[in-house]
Each structure stands twice: as structure tokens, then as C-alpha cells.
Amino acid sequence: MKTIGLIGGMSWESSVSYYQIINEEIKLRLGGLHSAKCILYSVDFEEIEVLQRNQEWNKAGDILSEAARSLELAGANFIIICTNTMHKVAEQIQSNTDIPLLHIADVTAEKVLGEGIETIGLLGTQYTMEQDFYKSRLEAKDIKVLIPERDDREIVNKVIYQELCLGTINPDSRKEFKRIIKGLIQQGAEGVILGCTEIGLLVRNEDTSVPLFDTTNIHAKGAVDYALASSDPSNP
């Protein structure tokens, strides 16, 4: 079993889910008293969020690169970033380490394609929805990506930062997300990616008529696949 290096804390709410899913999956697959070999480096999200807001991505990337190097020195065999948005600096992190980084958009794309879906809705922070660092990896695999209208993107972003990242689950926000998802379906979405690791705390598959792709669950289980593989994937 390979040792998983987790860069977490963005927010710690979803990092808890990563740790739980990874260990539950290891137990399910291996049985007995097995648990995951993993090392967690949890950053201070306040510091990262300020850099996001100020568009100082290189500085944020430096912080996460240092976290990745620490995980590598501690014995991690590969890295996962326990958040969607900070995959914006994934290439910067990868260039500063000698171990692979398992990209959340890549394992999510594999899951979407495995369901035979060609057009997908994407919810996440405004950075994830509006910028290309995430969508381009999906589009490179011939997946058409739809995002909400501007006002709805602002609602999604506000709920993520002002509620979900603080552990607040608001029924009114759930209603708004269900409305926004319905709008994406009306545009032609055959499924919806929950492209923020906290959104799965708010909406579930039973809340909509199309499949929801919870990136926390997909990424965590993808990390287990990687950790238990007899050899590393050629293109992580």
C-alpha cells in the first residue's frame, strides 16, 4: 500500500470527509483492521483565502508546494489536494515535488465518461466555474461543460465561503442549489459535478433527477485506487 499525502484544511470540513472516505474504503477492500497509510498537512485556510481573493495565486502555490515537499519528505508516495479550487496551482506544486499529484478533475472526468455522459454541469467556487484550469481538463476529454448564469454563480460562491466552509448547512441554500441544478439540466446537463469539496455536504443525489458527481468522494476513492495499485498509473 502506498502512503497518501493529503494537503488539507481548505476547508477542514471537507478534509474530515476525505480522511473518513479513504479509511472506510481501505477497510471495505482489505478487511480486518486495515486502515490507510496517509499523512495530512493541514494549512490555515484564512491565509489561503486572502491570497485567492487578492489573485496572488503564486504565493498560494508556494504555500501548498511547501506542504507537498513536507509530505514527500515525511514519506508520502503521492499527493492529493483536498480541494477543487487550489488545483489552479497543481502544476506549480507538481513542479516542486518528485512524487505524482493525482488531479481531482482527471479522476472526476473518468467517472463522468464511465457513466456515458457527454454534457456536464459544473458547480464550485467562482474561480472553478469561471476560469479554465479545471474546465479545460474536462473539455480535453471531450466533455462539454455548462456553468450557471452570473447571478447564480455568485450565490453558489457565497454559500461555499460564507456557509459550507464554516460548517453551516442552510435549508434555504439547499433550495437555491436545487433550483440552480434544475437550470443546468434545462440547459442540457446530463449530470452535475459538485466541483467544490464542501457542496456534497449540502446536496445529495436524491435532490435531483440527474447524477451528481461528488468530487470529494470520487477523489478520495481515486486515491485509494492509486494507493492499492500494483504499479503507478502512467499518467496520474
The question of whether 83 is a catalytic residue gets the answer: yes
Calculate the CA 52 to chain-centre distance: 16
Cis link prior to 234 (omega < 30° from 0)?
no
DSSP assignment string, 137-158: HHHTTT-EEE---HHHHHHHHH
Residue 214's identity, in one-letter code, is D
Residue of 128, 196, 197, 215 marked active site: 196
Sign of CA dihedral 66, 68, 69, 74: positive
Residue of 83, 85, 97, 197 marked active site: 83
- What's the order of all strands across the beta sheet hosting 119-123? 144-146, 119-123, 192-194, 212-214
Can you read off the three cell numbers belonging to residue 206?
A: 436524491
The question of whether 208 is a catalytic residue gets the answer: no
Bridge partners (DSSP) listed for residue 69:
none
Query: How far apart (Å, rounded) are the C-alpha atoms in residues 138 and 112?
Result: 9
Instruction: Give the residue numbers marked as catalytic.
Output: 83, 196
